[in-house]
Amino acid sequence: MLEIVLATNNAGKAAEISRILGKKVKIFTLPEIGFVGEIEETGETLAENALIKARAVACKAPGKIIMSDDTGLEVDYLAKAPGVYSARFAGPDCSYLDNNKKLLKLLKGVAKKERGAVFRTVVAVIYPDKNVEIYEGKISGSIAEKMSGVYGFGYDPVFIPENKRKTFAQMNSDEKNSISHRMKAVKNCRMGIKRKYAV
Ligand code: IMP
């Protein structure tokens, strides 16, 4: 069994990533390895932030494979904002609703063809030999004119994936995960891990 520490406190995210990586990989979250404390995401790119998180954990878990992910929503009309600032778009302690309201306000009256957006996930892995690999996944789509749907989290109620007629929040988790940015990044990561280990 290959053991990977995922630099997250989020058990739901760990379960989703664990399903993609398969039964021969065991994922540990930060609470499970006794890691406490906040990791400040001060990077200017998704890859920098993913690496900051992975490095903070690597020094506390020597010899383990460390994996970390960072995601951002890049909106064409906003010159790829909020991007790396997606979590705190509407301010330091904002909610998902605050972020969605701010985004819809900024795009009010903007034509459909200018509402293009990309969800991008970067996964950073630090291997026990200190080698660092970066894997990426993205999905293109557009920003809806209003929020719709009750599933998911974050910007799901306003993001319509390309070739779909509903938002991520109108899809159940299986439907979203089968096409999502995170799934593609983790699948790329799985291929990278398979090249190194027989899992
Ligand atoms: P994180 O890097 O996974 O913490 O994501 C940063 C921010 O991007 C989150 O706070 C959400 O607002 C947004 N986000 C990340 N993944 C998703 C997703 O799958 N759907 C909608 N929003 C997301």
Q: What is the CATH number of the domain that holds 99?
A: 3.90.950.10
Judge whether residue 16 has pLDDT over 90: no
Under 8 Å between Cβ of 77 and 114: yes
Q: Give the range among 135-139, 164-168, 171-175, 194-198 with minimum mean pLDDT.
A: 194-198
Best mutation site among 6, 48, 67, 86 for ligand 1, i.e. most ligand atoms within 8 A of its Cβ?
86
**Closest C-alpha to ligand 1, atom 17:** 154
Best mutation site among 40, 68, 73, 147 for ligand 1, i.e. most ligand atoms within 8 A of its Cβ?
73
What average pLDDT is seen over the chain? 95
Burial letters for 24-43: b for 16+ Cβ neighbours within 10 Å, e otherwise? ebebbbbeeeebeeebebee
Under 8 Å between Cβ of 84 and 75: no
**For the CA of 159, the nearest atom of ligand 1:** 21
Is 76 known to be catalytic?
Answer: no
Judge whether residue 37 has pLDDT over 90: no
38 confidence band (pLDDT: 50, 70, 90): confident
199 confidence band (pLDDT: 50, 70, 90): confident
Distances (CA, A) of 126 to 68, 111, 122, 195: 9, 43, 13, 15
pLDDT digits (tens, 9 = 90+) for 45-94: 999 999 999 999 999 898 999 999 999 999 999 999 999 999 999 999 99
Helix (H) or strand (E) holding 155: none
How many structural domains are present in the chain?
A: 1
Look at the pTM and tell me if it is higher than 0.85: yes
By residue count, the chain amounts to: 199
Judge whether residue 95 has pLDDT over 90: yes
Query: What mean pLDDT comes out for the span 94-99?
Result: 98
**Closest C-alpha to ligand 1, atom 11:** 154
Q: What is the pLDDT of residue 56?
A: 95
Judge whether residue 35 has pLDDT over 90: yes
**Closest C-alpha to ligand 1, atom 5:** 71
Better pLDDT: 197 or 6: 6
Q: Give the range among 77-81, 115-119, 174-178, 182-186 with minimum mean pLDDT.
A: 174-178
Residue 63's CB: how many other CB atoms inside 10 A?
A: 7
Q: What is the pLDDT of residue 12?
A: 85
Q: What is the pLDDT of residue 123?
A: 98
Query: What mean pLDDT comes out for the span 145-168?
Result: 97
Domain region containing 7: 2-196
Q: Please tell me which of 33-37, 144-148, 194-198 the model is most confident about, judged by mean pLDDT.
A: 144-148
